[in-house]
Amino acid sequence: MIAVDTNVLVYAHREDSAHHGVASPVLRDLANGSRPWAIAMQSLVEFVGIVTHPRVYAPPTPLETALATVEGLVSVPSLRILAAGLEDWPVLAEAFRRGRVRGPRVHDAHIAAVCRDHGVTEILTADRRFPRLRGLRVRDILV
């Protein structure tokens, strides 16, 4: 199964993004396909935070528009929303230790670990520093 990272969601949503032309068709193809694909719940939350932030985008996406975008995504029948449970903490902590993850990379490592633990084999991102975990292929859509 393929998962989509937060930045792909943001770029597909924001038409003023330099990467909109790449990200939008990727997301559209997944949403229109019949094969299961995934987004971590954490990425949906982060998406809303980024696109509505006035220091990130001027003008920011209105909250109702961002929420409608997420609601549209979660209504796609082939999409699986992934979330970590308390039983996942030891796996996450070990991933942080192994990768010596700190600061903003903790968030990405969490997304990667949740994806891998839910059977995702590939994550689509535009983050060249996205954490690499055994069993999870990281594909940069901009390359």
Question: Per the omega criterion (within 30 degrees of 0), is the bond before 60 cis?
Answer: no
Domains and CATH numbers, the chain: 2-140 (3.40.50.1010)
**Sequence-separated (6 or more) residues with CB below 8 Å from residue 61:** 13, 14, 51, 52, 69
DSSP per residue, 80-118: EEE---GGGHHHHHHHHHHTT--TTHHHHHHHHHHHHHT
Tell me whether strands 137-140 and 2-4 are parallel, antiparallel or unpaired.
unpaired
The span from the CA of 1 to the CA of 120, in Å, is: 5
In the chain (143 residues long), the average pLDDT of successive 10-residue segments reads 98 98 98 97 97 97 98 97 82 79 85 90 93 87 95
Q: Is the pTM of this model over 0.75?
A: yes
Provide the pLDDT for residue 87. Answer: 72
